[in-house]
Structure 1
Amino acid sequence: MSSRRPWARHTAVGAVAAAALVALAVPAEAATTSATTSTTSQSASTTATAAAAKVDYATWQADCQAVMDQALPYLKTRIAATKPGEKQAIVLDIDNTALESDFGFSYPAPANKPVLNVAKYAQEHGVSLFFVTARPDIIGSATEYNLKQVGYQVSGLYVRNFIDLFKDVATYKTDKRVDIENKGYTIIANIGNSATDLSGGHAEKTFKLPDYDGQLS
């Protein structure tokens, strides 16, 4: 189990998480972060730390790999069957799906390797990657930078703005998949670790990574 601290959870995205990530993204500003903000950030991550501590990292990686071992053969077959003029896309959640959020406190956060390997195959075969996350838009640019730094080709990133905060997460994420379809894409797979990432349709196939009954964000 890694001793690194988690930094993002669906129930804790907000001003504290935003301030922490922006500070990491802009080192010059990090030096001016107040002691009060630092203390609050540590407090906000305490619950996440306790939850992640219940999950062994090696077990989580093995469980993620098992799901991706199902996803890759499907994607190979589906990509090979691309229709003329069809624009294929995969939609991915970020925290504990594309990135290792609850198993480390670093910036850029590491990629979740089983997912990255599948994503790389897809992007190398012309499939566009779209990321739909409940993270707030204030950390959108830092999030996109993180994804690109660890190897994802980002065709689009959806983060929550002020209006989106009034929607439940499942509805918000479904709306964004509809938007991707309206851009002319066929979503051949949707990958996430929560039911709110995958419910609502608008994807040919879904792949659920483990969240261990909500222990992971």
Structure 2
Amino acid sequence: MTEQTGQTRQTRHAWQRAAGAAAVTAAALTATAVPAVAATPADTRPARAASAPAKPASAPVTASAADVGYDTWQQDCRAVMDQALPYLKERIADTRPGEKQAIVLDIDNTSLETDFGFSYPQPANRPVLEAAEYAQDHGVALFFVTARPGIISAPTEWNLDHAGYESSGLYVRGFLDLFRDVAAYKTAQRAKIESKGYTIIANIGNSATDLSGGHAEKTFKLPDYDGQLS
């Protein structure tokens, strides 16, 4: 009886250790799979600005970044996309014979709402989605270039599809890319898209690293409030 009791205890301890390890692994995967975000109240979200290739235009910001709420952020995003959509309509209507048009989009706080409360799947940033839907409905390919690591490529692609985007390609950072300058990495991905025969008619992001380096006819910058948004 004593030997059986000891074996039972050893088995129970083994199961407890296994369960603990599984919990730690699950927590680690969760932390890696979805970028950590500050717990921001639903009514306190940030704003954005717009840009053109030569001289970026900016959406008006009337409060400090720390004071900007979600509604203001959405208003600022819409101010930028209200400039982008008419341009896209005109440029798409002017498609040249044989031309394959494309739009390149950043993901975090551009295509998806990332820094405004934790959720998965992350919802689409509506002003950007509306412009993207018009483009994809008119035969324009959507490419997503993100600084997210490759380990979360599959859930990111699923999230974009769930949010309503029809992705023609998702570019995430491989291991060696993690040590490269982000702006240089994103520029290289746009060059790859062009090498496939696409004309990038617009590049949309919320950070200077999303838009610098060329390889797009026109750029539109959403607000990041001096880098406070990822």
Match of residue 104 from structure 2: 91
- Equivalent residue of 2:23, what SS? coil
Could you say which residue in structure 2 is the equivalent of 1:34?
24
Taking the aligned partners of 1:198 and 1:33, their CA distance within structure 2 comes to 40
- How far residue 106 of structure 1 moved from its aligned partner, in angstroms, is 1.1
- Residue 183 of structure 2 is matched in structure 1 by 170
Residue pair 1:52, 1:215 contacting (<8 A) in 2 also: no
Q: Which residue of 2 aligns with 1:184?
A: 197
Distance 1:85 1:33, change over 3 A: farther
Aligned to 2:149: 136
State TM-score, norm by structure 2.
0.75
- Counterpart Cα distance in 2 of 1:37 and 1:80: 48
Cα shift readout 1:76-111 (whole Å, capped 9, x = no counterpart): 000000001100000000000000000121111000
Residue identity matched to 1:34: V
Whole-angstrom distance in 2 between the partners of 1:111 and 1:105: 14
Structure 1 or 2, whichever has the larger Rg, is: 2
Structure-2 change in CA distance of 1:73 and 1:52 (3 Å):
closer
Structure 2 distance, partners of 1:84, 1:107, is 41
Distance 1:93 1:131 in 2: 6
Cα deviations across residues 4-60 of structure 1 (Å, max 9, x unaligned)?
A: xxxxxxxxxxxxxxxxxxxxxxxxxxxx4329947x94xx947x4479683300000
Query: Aligned partners of 1:170 and 1:95: how far apart in 2?
Result: 15
Give the corresponding residue for 2:172: 159
Listed as ranges, the matches of 1:55-74 within 5 Å are 55-74=68-87
Question: May I ask how many residue pairs the two structures share in their alignment?
Answer: 182
Give the distance between the partners of 1:126 and 1:59, measured in 2 at CA.
32
Letter in 2 for 1:175: A
Give the TM-score, by structure 1 length: 0.79
Aligned CA distance change for structure 1 residues 34 and 206 (closer, same or farther; 3 Å)? same
- Amino acid across the alignment from 2:163: V
Unpaired runs of 5+ residues, structure 1, are: 1-31
| Residue 170 to residue 58, structure 1, CA distance change in 2 (3 Å) | same
For the pair 1:205 / 2:211, whether they are aligned, the reply is no
Unaligned runs of 5+ in 2: 1-21, 47-65
3-state SS of 1:33 partner: helix
Q: Once superposed, which parts of structure 1, at least 4 consecutive aligned residues long, lie more than 2 Å away?
A: 32-38, 48-55
For the residues of structure 2 that align with 1:80 and 1:63, how far apart are their CA atoms?
Answer: 27
Q: Please report how far the alpha carbon of residue 166 of structure 1 lies from its aligned counterpart in structure 2 after TM superposition.
A: 1.8
The match for 2:208 among 187, 195, 199 is 195
